[in-house]
């Protein structure tokens, strides 16, 4: 081993307790960072999955402009056929055609404006969690049945229950007047009041008849096996879009920009806290190295007299810090990784979380997502912070003069 590395390593252990305390601070903060970042990324994945799988899906095929200004006439022609082709070619069952319209929904006593969706009962459960949230009755099973599923708040507002009939009034794809009667066969409770108050779903065939869709729909919704493979499926799905139709494929980021912004805002606040932690560790390292440099002033004077330049001595101090930082990095990543691994299998929860999560159709436990990034991002930042904090003690050596240094006790 190079003598300089040997020297740097042995210098660290001159005051083993001090070095261990500093490494301990690094290990603690690194382990904490690994676990927190892994948990955070796991929660984001869960947030994204739950938000997107609730209704929006990972991707949607739409007519151009429909996303920003939804109009009845902006449709995907032969949407069910396109969905079937995609299911077959992508070998993915979680693809469904869906239509949407605004309608006035009337019971015997009251009327409310709602957004009504035409869904394919066979495939909608694969692209939306809403069918699984039906608390009373059942979800439609026949694509042509004159049935409707509404939210619990809407049912209360309309004063209807299972078996009651509701009248739909709206505008068709061609702008003509649309009207129909449907029987309430299911009432869902998503936990999100806005959804429970303003959304209703009917079978796609029934929707097609009522709103004169002529086999078209407003979107083909795609849910992929995970966020990591979206890009792959996106490329393959785009290649399968019919060339003669003017269609676009939006991913979840475009469909739900607020979600990404919310995650980014959360990342910013979390990383501010992590930054404070890193700064505290950096100051601890600076303190250690500054003390180490000050108490070795005489020795530094000697080696300068032997011909070492201040730059070399500075590099020695940086090397010592690097070794300490690397020990902290790997031990911290190891400890943090083991903690994260345990929670990856057992989940992370706290008292009261079950009830809160159940209200939002979320699992009662969060599972950290351990990747190389989550394992080493925090420790790497702590490592860089430590090196930067050692720059000041190292730079002090540039002003050291051998004669004065050798006089130091």
Residues forming the site for another protein (CB under 8 A): 2-4, 6-7, 10-11, 13-14, 298-299, 302-312, 401-403, 406
Compute CA distances 360 → 48, 51, 275, whole Å.
13, 10, 32
Least distance from another protein to the Cβ atom of residue 294, Å = 16
Least distance from another protein to the Cβ atom of residue 385, Å = 27
3 state DSSP class of 382: helix
Judge whether 375 and 336 are in contact, CB under 8 Å: yes
138 or 312: whose CB is closer to another protein? Answer: 312
94 or 322: whose CB is closer to another protein? Answer: 322
CA-based R_g, the chain, Å: 31
267 or 406: whose CB is closer to another protein? Answer: 406
Least distance from another protein to the Cβ atom of residue 298, Å = 8
Least distance from another protein to the Cβ atom of residue 10, Å = 4
Least distance from another protein to the Cβ atom of residue 21, Å = 19
Of 217, 75, 160, the closest CA to residue 148 belongs to: 160
Compute CA distances 103 → 112, 131, 179, 201, whole Å.
8, 21, 9, 11
2 or 176: whose CB is closer to another protein? Answer: 2
Q: Of all helices (H) and strands (E), which one includes residue 44?
A: helix 16-51
DSSP character at residue 52: I
13 or 360: whose CB is closer to another protein? Answer: 13
239 or 403: whose CB is closer to another protein? Answer: 403
Least distance from another protein to the Cβ atom of residue 324, Å = 15
Residue-wise DSSP of 217-263: BSEEEE--S-GGGHHHHHHHHHHHS-TTS--EEEEHHHH-HHHHHHH
């Amino acid at each position: 081993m190079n003598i300089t590395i040997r020297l740097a390593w042995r210098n660290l252990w001159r005051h083993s307790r001090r070095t261990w305390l500093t490494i301990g601070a690094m290990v603690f903060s690194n382990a904490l960072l690994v676990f927190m970042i892994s948990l955070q990324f796991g929660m984001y994945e869960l947030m994204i999955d739950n938000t997107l799988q609730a209704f929006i899906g990972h991707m949607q095929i739409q007519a151009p402009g429909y996303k920003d200004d939804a109009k009845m006439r902006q449709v995907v022609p032969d949407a069910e056929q396109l969905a079937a082709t995609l299911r077959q070619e992508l070998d993915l069952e979680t693809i469904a055609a869906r239509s949407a319209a605004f309608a006035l929904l009337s019971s015997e006593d009251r009327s409310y404006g709602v957004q009504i969706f035409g869904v394919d009962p066979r495939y909608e459960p694969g692209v939306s969690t809403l069918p699984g949230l039906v608390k009373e009755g059942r979800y439609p099973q026949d694509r042509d049945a004159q049935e409707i599923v509404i939210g619990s708040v809407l049912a209360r507002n309309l004063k209807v229950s299972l078996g009651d009939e509701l009248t739909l009034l709206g505008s068709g794809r061609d702008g003509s007047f649309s009207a129909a009667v449907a029987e309430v066969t299911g009432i869902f409770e998503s936990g999100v009041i806005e959804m429970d108050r303003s959304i209703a779903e009917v079978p796609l065939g029934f929707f097609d008849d009522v709103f004169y869709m002529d086999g078209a729909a407003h979107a083909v919704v795609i849910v992929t096996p995970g966020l990591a493979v979206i890009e792959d499926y996106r490329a393959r799905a785009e290649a399968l879009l019919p060339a003669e139709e003017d269609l676009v494929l939006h991913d979840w980021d475009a469909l739900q920009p607020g979600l990404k912004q919310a995650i980014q805002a959360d990342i910013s606040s979390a990383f501010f806290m992590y930054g404070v932690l890193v700064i505290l560790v950096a100051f601890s390292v600076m303190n250690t190295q500054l003390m180490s440099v000050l108490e070795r002033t005489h020795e530094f004077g000697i080696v300068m007299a032997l011909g070492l330049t201040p730059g070399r001595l500075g590099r020695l101090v940086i090397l010592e810090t690097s070794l300490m930082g690397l020990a902290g990095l790997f031990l911290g990543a190891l400890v943090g990784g083991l903690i994260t691994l345990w929670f990856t299998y057992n989940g992370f929860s706290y008292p009261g979380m079950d009830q809160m999560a159940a209200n939002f159709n979320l699992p009662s436990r969060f599972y950290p997502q351990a990747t190389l990034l989550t394992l080493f991002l925090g420790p790497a930042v702590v490592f860089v912070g430590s090196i930067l904090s050692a720059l000041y003690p190292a730079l002090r050596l540039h002003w050291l003069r051998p004669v004065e240094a050798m006089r130091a006790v």
